[in-house]
A and B are shown apart, each in its own frame.
Chain A
Amino acid sequence: MIAKTKYIPDGKKELKELPILHYLDANFLYYPVTSARCPEGETCVRGGQFVKIGEVIGTRKGAFFEQPMHATVSGEVVGYEKRVDQSGKVVDCLIVKNDKKYNFHASIKDRSEAEINALTKEDFVTIVKDAGLVGLGGSAFPTYIKLESNDPINIVIANGVECEPYLIADYSVMMNYPHEVIEGLIYAMKASGAPKGIIAIKKKYTEIAERLNFSLKQYSGHDIKVVKVGNYYPQGWELEMIKNAVGIKIPQGELLSKYGVLNFNVSTLQSIFNAVKKRLPVLERLFTISGNGIHNSSFRARIGTQIPDLIELAGGYKNVEIPKVLILGGPMMGVNVTRDDIVMTHTSTSLIVLNEEILIEEPCIHCASCVYSCPVSIQPTQIMNAYKVKDKDALKMLQVNKCIECGLCSFVCPSKIHLTEYMRLGKRYASK
């Protein structure tokens, strides 16, 4: 209908009630050598070599940074195979055979409080860099680059909004490990020199707010607050979240640090805590299998676990005769894959399997629901028309590059037009 749409049925309530199964002893673990941000990579282990938890087994190379890979089990390196990674591409994977002894590498030992207090900004950056930490919200942007910034930082924000439907990874981190999140936030504040910290959560998560506030009593020496922001989509988009949480309006395309703000996902902060306190890289994550085409289940699994194992444990697909849509990530912005031999990486949070629904595109009736709903105030229907006639000037005038591909325009369209796809095509065409 002709109205601004903000709320999407999120289906999280049922998922939160699912028990979390621990699946930490896969026989073989797969480590992609490359990733979406790092098109090149190399390993530094040989077949037959034994590795331990936390040992560096290779390096992924991006455009302006390098990122170490770590083993998450102890065992023997057995070779390479091709698997699908989080970005939906088929990549080479290093295989480690799990010896189920879970020996830690010699470098993995806890830091004492005194050691942590003595750390300087450079030390924090090195620790985070060596642990290979990336934005776990899904961007996989290297965390140390954010910390390295020389701009004065006033405020560090922990983003726990997770506005996409069907995702509960951040929710469970905040619910189960509030201290790790808070201490990770304190380390990030120390590293950036920010006096203030904020944890942004959805308004409806009263249980999370209570839990975090209770845990915060132990950290009264630090200025950390829990801020409740809207329940709507896309509240988790960092600019929208910062606007509502601290009232700073940041134009698109500007660096957050220029405005004295740093933003981390709560899961990233937990991984900072683990890296600083325990010298651990990211070892495991919560992975949810959901959707109407599969038996739903939640897992805690090691990075490198194969998803087909988890699918089998969950109970497999429902109604196998109906074609399925496989989605990694959320249903609004997630990545579509056509094979299910997926490997869990740092940024994996969820696999959604939906039964295929056949949508027939009707003509646009100019109802403007997409225009009203667009969070960046562009006009999807006009961009679609401009793209159809290949009008580059009009596309630029309509600011197609502002699109964040949140998917709301396609979601609201009563004619079932796939506007988000036109936005992508339009962006590509305008920059050609």
Chain B
Amino acid sequence: MAVFKDKDRSPSDRSAWDRKRHRQLVEESIKKNLGDIIAEESIIGQSKDKKIKIPIRGIKEYQFIYGKNTGGTGAGSGNEEQGQVIGKNSSQQESGSGQAGSGPDEEVYETEITLEELTDYLFEDLQLPDIERKKFAQIELEYKFKRSGFQLKGPKPRLNKKRTIIEKLKRKQMMKRDQAALEAEQTPERIPFHENDLRYKRVKEEMHKQSNAIILCIMDTSGSMDQTKKYLARSFYFLLYQFVRWKYEYVEVAFIAHTTVAHEVNEEDFFHRGECGGTYISSGYAKALELIEQRYNPTVWNIYIFHCSDGDNWNEDNYKAVALVQELCNISNLFGYAEINTNRMYVNSMRKEYNKFLSLDNFIMVTMNNKADIWAAFKNFLDKESPPGGNSDGNL
């Protein structure tokens, strides 16, 4: 006689561990693909709630399998004829026989994430290098008030009506029950609030240390910076800007656009306005220096400078630019130079000059040749893992 067992199961969820590990691997795979996502999606200037669809190449379990061009056997309706086309090779329905299909495409599924989530993934492991270096820059204190539970006494404006009413209802129910127990006859018509019902929001004061940091974004907007190059530069700065906003509460960002002359511009103009003309890279640097002198005293501020250019400078300016980089490096935490080189044959490059004359710990150079390089460049500047500073002549 067969044995029946009914729901004899332990409450433990035995697949939990394996599911968790699988999700972990999926998240790792998302992170690995982020570079592609940034490159593919025009996310610049999008609101943080925008949903982005990203295909997750599921964690595949590779084995030796037959290719897609393998035929098979099917059960038909009986009306099939030799030579009849019954489907397209890419479609999954028609393919596969016998074994449950294990086609290569099967494991691609899509997931939607918002730009905000994407930013979380993107910036999790990144930080501005050496941000804590200037300890005395953190002396500025700020009080922040945070709600934390409820209390019995407090100022009127902090009265929490909902909690207070709940307390009153509780008391009312208790009274009713007591009366039922005592078989008392009259229930009072109305139960007024009692002082003990009142609940106030409790507020905790939190002290915040503030680290003063300024990010100076310098962009070459000269004529040689064509649409693609500008797109690369702007994508880069967009990422940087998002990152800083995401990670640090009190970081200032200033934008400088330069051709042969430099201007401080606002965010809108920086990301959306085009200019043209020749190039004096030094003009951008001089402007940065000027701003620092006026507003961001290096003894107090952590200073980060990023410059995107195609490196196509007018020769007579090269010397001056190199000297200014030197000067800026002396007073900043990090100077990042990203050279945009969509045409690899370019010979006239600022990068070469810097390579020749500069060897500074906090000067980092990268090149960006195409969209896929943006993320790599970004990470090269800000990755926790990479040693801070260092002339990483990133060959990306």
| Chains A and B are bound partners | no
* Chain B residues with a Cβ under 8 A of chain A: none
